[in-house]
Chains A and B, each alone.
Chain A
Amino acid sequence: MAQSFIMESCNCIEPQWPADELLMKYQYISDFFIALAYFSIPLELIYFVKKSAVFPYRWVLVQFGAFIVLCGATHLINLWTFTMHSRTVAVVMTTAKVLTAAVSCATALMLVHIIPDLLSVKTRELFLKNKAAELDREMGLIRTQEETGRHVRMLTHEIRSTLDRHTILRTTLVELGRTLALEECALWMPTRTGLELQLSYTLRQQNPVGYTVPIHLPVINQVFGSNRALKISPNSPVARLRPISGKYVPGEVVAVRVPLLHLSNFQINDWPELSTKRYALMVLMLPSNSARQWHVHELELVEVVADQVAVALSHAAILEESMRARDLLFEQNVALDLARREAETAIRARNDFLAVMNHEMRTPMHAIIALSSLLQETELTPEQRLMVETILKSSNLLATLINDVLDLSRLEDGSLQLEKGTFNLHSVFKEVLNLIKPVASVKKLLVTLNIASDVPVYAVGDEKRLMQTILNVSGNAVKFSKEGSISMAASVIKPESLREYRTAEFFPVPSEGQFYLRVQVKDMGSGISPQDMPKLFTKFTQTQPLATRNSGGSGLGLAICKRFVNLMDGSIWVDSDGLGKGCTASFIVKLGFPERPYETKLPFAPKVQGNHIQTNFGGLKVLVMDDNGVGRSVTKGLLIHLGCDVTTVGSSDDCMRTVSLEHKVVFIDVSMDCYELASRVRERFGKRQERPLVVALTGNTDKATKDNCIRFGLDGVILKPISVDKMRNVLAELLEHRVLFEAM
């Protein structure tokens, strides 16, 4: 450009240098190419940026593009300036240059910001790559752990699926060997003495010989001291399971302790800090010449397995114990059963013996007593009579003794059962009184009996044994009294007062239908000293000094009484103020109320045992109403035959005139106005307990009759013809239940 101006200013010189034309040509071509390049670069940039999805600096590229384009434009325009050019071109050129300058400066400034950013992208990329590598590593770790976990679960399942100790241990070794691809796996168990470890199980070797090592080796102590799996030297005695052959590099060896629980000191709170110090040693060897190493997860696996084995072994131990206990119990059961059978045999033998002896003893006794009594009836001299009397007395005594002994033995083995029947309680006392009165009067003793008003006349219980008890107690009172009086008192204990009689062994409870009878016999005789008190009811002990022994008594009486009283759910005791101050014997027994009340108010109630049909109605006043003469006489005859006091009437009015509370039953022959009559009778006497029962006699078997009777309030309906037996039953039934409706 400068050249062109110079050329213009001095228009005098010759034409251009010919060398410069070549240079200009080259410049011309270079500029052209530069422009080309300058125009194509942005195009390329745009093309590739469009292609790439991620490029954050588009604005920069636009700037860059603009810069390059303008540069290119500049160079292109430069082409025109080599020759003569107009002012427009110059202007354009200048504009282009100015623009280019502006853009390029702007771009330069922009690049200052951008280039550091771009560089940092690179750093981030590096960082991310590292992170990815790390994650990969961790993934690898987790996978390994999960695998380990799976192995552990599988192993545990295998181990715990059996309760047999040997199977557990074998399975452990096998599974571990398989999971970890071990060369050898061995278990050392402590011996009974606890001083050595014995090789008990191995994986590969079939039958391990009883190879032992002392337990206090340092390596062993080290392993036992930690609950981790520790690497040990392959040369240690526990690891040297195979004879060293040739050169091979043994694989790494790991040992772990397996706690052995002893049943006796298994405490749930101690686990896992065990109070026992017994461990077994598990040794695991990696394959030799393999350059494999123990990884952490493998060690963890081993530790977990060791713990599981310990648990499984403890379960197996518990099972063994319980089996042993069960076997023991079984044996004991068998032994007990045998003992029981032997005891039963013994009892049976004893009973048989007693039964036989019973008979054998009684027969001669009977002979002696019978013949002696007969002898007594014959003509005897006074000395002979005395002798016979003595024989009789002694044999009677002996007979009583035999009876007592047999009774007691039956009582002892519980084979005695009380009989249950309804009996007259009052008469029992009277009988006893009658029995002891003769002896008492000989000794000039006054005997009194006082039965309280609340004592029922009839009771349910064992009459014979109750009488025996009362007799014994009062007999004792008579025996041991030389003077004074004897008083017997019987009363019923009210349920509220039952509590006062409670003792350690006697616990009376009031119950429905039963009552407690208290009997007290008081005498003023020799009394009992406090030290003799406890021996009173024991067999065969006498509390009297030798001199008074002649008063008789075998010493069994009170013992038997006590047994009887106990069987009757009662209690017996004796109170005494001391020797010579008399004593009071009391006992309580449980008796039952009779089921059907026996009306003693009616004058015709005889002693009935169980069978309630009375054969004689003893003057029962009845009224017979029948308008048929024949029927009237027949019914009257029937009732008279049964012992009733019969009044007959022929009409309703007569009936109403005659009937009174004295009549217990009114028999009405059914006819038209009998219902009305019945209502009138009922009206007269109301609902009183003593009102006469109104019973209809009819030959009609239809239900209407019966319904009418019920409706009109009759107490019963009886079908004719009536036999004697039927009337008897009817009367009995009526008197008991006060109602009788025969099935029609």
Chain B
Amino acid sequence: MAGSGLVLQLQKQLGDYTTSLFNEGFLDDQFNQLQQLQDESNPDFVVEVVSLFFEDSDRLLNELAKALNYQNTDFRKVDAHVHQLKGSSSSIGAQRVQRVCIAFRNHCEAQNIEGCLNCLQQVKQEYTLVKNKLETKLERQLLAARRSSFPM
């Protein structure tokens, strides 16, 4: 049956892709845990959490851009945002984002505006990367799921 061959192929592709994500350090074991939590009672768990992550992070990054300026930077507020971002990324398993956040927080404590701005850039970069990767992955996952439910 050709259909099942295609499904298998897709699934294999997905598997490879996911592995590459792990290997490149984009995702860590926490993501595995999330995937484990997805079951029949909670079929869209991963999608939900990932979407939530995207929303939250977009919002936080905007706030951070607003808060960081050369005049009166409220480092406490900045730190709070970064803390949130760190929390979210670690809950998802976005390793690289989390790491940048840790560095970001150190700069905040040191009240180093230059450092903070640098980190902000880095965070945005990493976030964009992991977002793209996750979106691709999810698309492929959906595809694989849809294909497998149609015996062709």
- CB-CB under 8 A from B37, the residues of chain A are 634, 637-638, 640-641, 724
Q: Does A629 contact B (CB under 8 A)?
A: yes
Can you list 21 A-B pairs, Cβ within 8 angstroms, ordered by A? A628-B88, A628-B91, A629-B52, A629-B56, A630-B87, A630-B88, A631-B91, A634-B37, A637-B37, A637-B49, A638-B37, A640-B41, A640-B42, A641-B42, A669-B87, A699-B86, A721-B30, A721-B93, A722-B33, A723-B33, A724-B33
Complex Cα distance, B62 from A721, in Å, reads 27
Across the interface, B39 reaches (CB within 8 A) one of A627, A641, A720, A722, namely: A641
User: Is A123 among interface residues, defined by CB-CB distance under 8 A?
Assistant: no
* Binary per-residue interface labels of chain B (11-49) against chain A in the complex, 1 for a CB within 8 Å, 0 otherwise: 000000000000000000110011011010110010011
Interface presence of A235 (CB below 8 A): no
For B88, what are the chain A residues with a Cβ–Cβ distance below 8 Å? 628-631
Instruction: Please tell me if the beta carbons of A699 and B87 are within 8 angstroms of each other in the complex.
Output: yes
Any chain A CB within 8 A of the CB of B90?
yes
In angstroms, Cα B101 to Cα A699, docked, is 13
CA distance A724 to B48 in the complex (A): 18
Is the CB of A390 closer than 8 A to any CB of chain B? no
Taking a contact as CB atoms under 8 Å apart, the answer to whether B87 and A631 are in contact is yes
Point out the residue from B29, B41, B49, B83 that lies within 8 Å of A630, measured CB to CB: B49
CA A241 to CA B84, docked complex, whole Å: 128
- The yes or no answer to B92 lying at the interface (CB within 8 A) is yes
- 5 closest A-B pairs (Cβ-Cβ)? A630-B88, A628-B87, A631-B91, A637-B37, A634-B91
Q: In the complex, are the beta carbons of A634 and B49 less than 8 A apart?
A: yes
- Beyond A629-B52, A629-B56, list 11 extra A-B contacts (CB 8 Å): A627-B84, A630-B49, A630-B53, A630-B56, A631-B87, A631-B91, A634-B34, A634-B37, A634-B91, A640-B42, A641-B36
Kindly identify which residue among B41, B52, B93 contacts A633, using a CB–CB cutoff of 8 Å: B52
Residues of B contacting A628 in the complex (Cβ-Cβ under 8 angstroms): 56, 84, 87-88, 91
How far, in angstroms, from A633 to B39 measured CA to CA in the complex? Answer: 15
- Give the interface residue-count category, chain A: 10 to 19
Contacts of B90 in A (CB 8 A): 699, 720-721
Q: Which residues on B sit within 8 Å (CB–CB) of A723?
A: 29, 33
Which of chain A's residues 709-727 have a Cβ closer than 8 Å to chain B? 720-724
A637 with B56: CB separation less than 8 A: no
Task: Report A597-650 residues with CB < 8 Å from chain B CB.
Answer: 627-631, 633-634, 637-638, 640-641
- A112 CB to closest chain B CB (Å) equals 147
CB under 8 Å from chain A, chain B span 69-103: 83-84, 86-88, 90-93
A633 to B37, CA, bound (A): 11
Q: What CA separation (Å) do A724 and B45 show in the bound complex?
A: 14
> Could you tell me the distance in whole angstroms from the C-beta of A87 to the nearest C-beta in chain B?
168
Chain A neighbourhood of B91, CB < 8 A: 628, 630-631, 634, 720-721
Task: Looking at the assembled complex, report how far the CB atom of A190 sits from the nearest CB atom of chain B, in whole angstroms.
Answer: 104
A308 → chain B closest CB, angstroms: 98
Q: How far is the CA of A638 from the CA of B84 in the complex (A)?
A: 20
- Of B45, B83, B91, most A-chain CB atoms within 10 Å: B91
Q: Is B34 a contact of A637 with CB atoms below 8 Å? A: yes
User: A484 → chain B, closest Cβ, in Å?
Assistant: 54
Whole-angstrom distance from the CB of A29 to the nearest CB of chain B? 165
Q: Complex Cα distance A641/B93, Å? A: 18
Neighbour of B49 across the interface among A633, A640, A720, A722, CB < 8 A: A633
Q: How far is the CA of A405 from the CA of B41 in the complex (A)?
A: 55
Interface residues of B (CB under 8 A from A): 29-30, 33-34, 36-37, 39, 41-42, 45, 48-49, 52-53, 55-56, 83-84, 86-88, 90-93
Measured CB to CB, the closest approach of chain A to B31, in angstroms, equals 10
For A631, list chain B residues within 8 Å (CB): 87-88, 91
CB distance from B32 to the nearest CB of A (A): 9
State the CA gap A638–B30 with chains docked (Å).
12
> Nearest CB to that of B48 among chain A residues?
A633
From residue A260, how far is it (CB to closest CB) to chain B in Å? 99
Please give me the residue from chain B that is nearest to A672 by CB atom. Answer: B80
Q: How far is the CB of B64 from chain A (nearest CB, A)?
A: 15
On whether the beta carbons of A721 and B29 are closer than 8 Å, the reply is yes
Are the C-beta atoms of B87 and A637 separated by less than 8 Å?
no
Looking at the assembled complex, report how far the CB atom of A121 sits from the nearest CB atom of chain B, in whole angstroms: 135
Query: How far does the alpha carbon of A455 sit from the alpha carbon of B42 in the complex, in Å?
Result: 43
> Complex Cα distance A640/B53, Å?
19
Give the complex CA separation of A283 and B42 in angstroms.
Answer: 121
Contact A637 B45 (CB under 8 A): yes
CB neighbours (8 Å) of B92 from chain A are: 630, 634
Which residues 685-744 of A have a CB within 8 angstroms of B?
699, 720-724
Q: How far is the CA of A723 from the CA of B87 in the complex (A)?
A: 16
- Closest beta carbon of chain B to A582's beta carbon, Å: 57
- Which residues of A have CB within 8 Å of B41? 640
Give the docked Cα–Cα distance between A615 and B87 (Å).
28
A699 to B90, CA, bound (A): 9
Determine the chain B residues whose CB is within 8 A of the CB of A629 once the complex forms: 52, 55-56, 88
Residues of chain B with a CB closer than 8 A to A721's CB: 29-30, 33, 90-91, 93
Tell me the bound Cα distance from A627 to B80 in angstroms. Answer: 11
Closest Cβ neighbor of A722 among chain B residues? B33
Q: Which residue of B lies closest to A723 (CB)?
A: B33
- Chain B residues within 8 Å of A641, by CB: 36-37, 39, 42
CA A669 – CA B87 in complex, angstroms? 10
For A634, list chain B residues within 8 Å (CB): 34, 37, 49, 91-92
Taken together as a complex, chains A and B put the C-alpha atoms of A724 and B36 apart, in Å, by 8
Q: Are A637 and B42 within 8 A (Cβ)?
A: yes
- Closest chain B residue to A637 by CB distance? B37
A705 to chain B, nearest CB (A): 14
Query: In this complex, which of B30, B33, B39, B45 has the most chain A Cβ atoms within 10 angstroms of its Cβ?
Result: B33
Which residues of A are found within 8 Å of B56, using beta-carbon distances? 628-630
Chain A residues contacting B29 (CB-CB under 8 Å) are: 721, 723
Residue interface bits A498-534, CB-to-B below 8 A is 1, else 0? 0000000000000000000000000000000000000
| CA–CA, A451 and B105, complex, Å | 65
**A696→B16 CA distance, assembly (Å):** 37
Contacts of B48 in A (CB 8 A): 633
Closest to A627 in B: B84
Residues in B with CB closer than 8 Å to A669 are: 87
A385-408 residues with Cβ-Cβ distance < 8 A to B are none
Q: How far is the CA of A627 from the CA of B30 in the complex (A)?
A: 19
CB neighbours (8 Å) of A630 from chain B are 49, 52-53, 56, 87-88, 91-92
Closest to A671 in B: B83
- Alpha-carbon distance between A488 and B144 when the two chains are bound, in angstroms: 63
Smallest CB-CB separation from A720: which chain B residue? Answer: B90
Q: How far is the CA of A723 from the CA of B90 in the complex (A)?
A: 13
Q: Which residues of A contact B52 (CB under 8 A)?
A: 629-630, 633
Closest residue of A by beta carbon distance from B55: A629
Q: Among B48, B56, B93, which residue has the most Cβ atoms of chain A within 10 A?
A: B56
Give A722 to B36 CA distance when docked, in angstroms. 12
Which residues of the partner chain A approach B30 to less than 8 Å between Cβ atoms?
721
Chain A, Cβ-Cβ closest to B41? A640
> Within the assembled complex, what's the spacing in Å between the Cα atoms of A402 and B53?
70
Residue on B with the closest CB to A726?
A: B33
Residue of A634, A638, A720, A723 with most partner-chain B CB within 10 A = A634
> Closest residue of chain B to A628, judged by CB?
B87
Residue with the greatest number of chain B CB neighbours at <10 A, chosen from A628, A630, A631, A641: A630
The smallest beta-carbon distance between A728 and chain B, in angstroms, is 12
Which residues from chain B contact A637 at a C-beta distance below 8 Å? Answer: 34, 37, 42, 45, 49
B22–chain A nearest beta-carbon distance, Å = 15
Distance between Cα atoms of A641 and B49 in the complex (Å) = 14
- Per-residue CB contact flags for chain A residues 257-296 toward chain B (1 = under 8 Å, else 0) read 0000000000000000000000000000000000000000
A720 to B87, CA, bound (A): 10
Q: How distant is the Cα of A481 from the Cα of B139 in the complex, in angstroms?
A: 75
Instruction: Write out the residue numbers on chain B whose beta carbons fall within 8 Å of the beta carbon of A722.
Output: 33
Task: Name the residue on B nearest A630 (C-beta).
Answer: B88
Once the chains are docked, how many angstroms separate the CA of A722 from the CA of B90?
Answer: 11
Within 8 Å CB of B45, what residues of A? Answer: 637
> Chain B contacts of A627 at CB under 8 A?
84
Cα–Cα, bound, A722→B30 (Å): 8
